[in-house]
Amino acid sequence: MRVTASAPAKIILFGEHSVVYGKPAIAAAIDLRTYVTARFNENRRIKIEARDIKTPGLIVSFSENEIYFESDYGKAAEVLSYVRQAIELVREESDRSGKGVTVSITSQIPVGAGLGSSAAVAVATIGAVSRLFGLELSPEEVGKLGHRVELLVQGASSGIDPTVSAIGGFIHYQNGSFEHLPFMELPLVVGYTGSSGSTKELVAMVRESYEDMPEVIGPILNSMGMLVGKAKDVITGEHGVDLKFGLLGRLMNVNHGLLDALGVSTKKLSELVYAARVAGALGAKITGAGGGGCMYALAPKRQSEVATAIKIAGGTPMITRISRDGLRIEEVER
Ligand code: MEV
């Protein structure tokens, strides 16, 4: 038997970092996906074939105490810990803990770009392996297991990335609970800096600042929480679409400034943000943990101008759409 599942990338529209402190955030799944095929193998090993994960190719297998690298590796190695934990958690949840499993991964999501590649690979792996083991998990349950994987691998995580990847669409998220927001076609442009930040290190850096100066950092996090509340009101309110986009753009700019104040922006990220605004975006901000990775812009009727400006400023633009689908079981071959 062989099962293929896929899960989408995400962008955080508002509220990254503050969401780790119990504040709300708004995120959407986007139309870049990771595909994972799972099958049993003859030995008791977990074998991971990362054939194309937008980093150099890699095939690795591990048994109890050994890791076998079968080809080059690089940033791809980071992805492995998420895949391994995902498989082990599903093995624990089932009665098949001794079974060997081989998973093959292909992905359209650049690794380390702040687009949730780790969460997508964890969610797709949990989806494929749980179905292989005969477990019937709902997308919510897969999202919760994905959150456990993130906690095991990166220490701190709000759970927003695996939740939106498992559920899909456009969500408001707080403290492990989510609600769908009305679906909106957002004219977005994502700009990739080409470098990656470590979510684990950036979350730890913000934690340190908060612990060293809670009276300064606390109000920034509170303000982020308030602006997410305002963004939710705008999205669910009765305004016309132009007014909605205008208000959301301004809130994005405020959110970017506050993320910069937390120290998670970089020169390159801010250059792409300003290039997008100058080219006519209504708003532009970091998306995800920062420290490199991606920014996004809201650019009604100006997507191609903004994409060109991001390119001229040295970034890689991607015109993306929100994906209604979260985790999908693509194929079950018996
Ligand atoms: C990462 O995509 C978002 C962060 O808020 C971390 C998290 O929520 O787990 C930086």
* Tokens read off for 86: 């995902």
Separation of alpha carbons 119 and 161, rounded Å: 6
95 is catalytic: no
Residues 241, 317, single domain; the answer is yes
Residues 107, 136, single domain; the answer is yes
pLDDT at 69 over 80: no
pLDDT digits (tens, 9 = 90+) for 320-333: 899 999 999 999 99
pLDDT of residue 72: 41
Has this prediction a pTM greater than 0.95?
A: no
The atom of ligand 1 lying closest to the CA of 206 is 10
Pairing state between β 100-107 and 46-52: parallel
Mean per-residue pLDDT of the chain:
91
Q: Which of 182, 216, 240 is the last residue of a domain?
A: 182
Number of domains in the chain: 2
Separation of alpha carbons 19 and 77, rounded Å: 27
CA distances from 293 to 143, 153, 199, 243, 309 (A): 23, 19, 10, 29, 17
Q: Give the residue among 184, 198, 244, 171 at the shortest CA–CA distance from 11.
A: 171
Whole-number Å distance, alpha carbon 61 to ligand 1 midpoint, is: 29
Residues 175, 254, single domain; the answer is no
CATH number of the domain encompassing residue 294: 3.30.70.890
Residues 17, 162, single domain; the answer is yes
329 assigned to some structural domain: no
Residue span of the structural domain in which 147 resides: 2-182
Q: Which residues line ligand 1 (CB under 6 A)?
A: 12, 16-17, 19-20, 157-158, 160-161, 199, 203, 288-289
pLDDT of residue 93: 87
Q: Which of 162, 182, 202 is the last residue of a domain?
A: 182
CATH number of the domain encompassing residue 98: 3.30.230.10
Residues 49, 109, single domain; the answer is yes
Residues 55, 171, single domain; the answer is yes
The atom of ligand 1 lying closest to the CA of 156 is 9
> φ, ψ for residue 3 (rounded to 5)?
-125, 130
Residues 153, 207, single domain; the answer is no
pLDDT digits (tens, 9 = 90+) for 19-62: 999 999 999 999 999 999 999 998 888 888 876 666 544 445 55
Separation of alpha carbons 97 and 92, rounded Å: 6
Residues 162, 280, single domain; the answer is no
pLDDT digits (tens, 9 = 90+) for 173-215: 999 999 999 988 899 999 999 888 888 899 999 999 999 999 9
* Tokens read off for 63: 């048994």
178 assigned to some structural domain: yes
34 DSSP β-pair partners = 7, 107
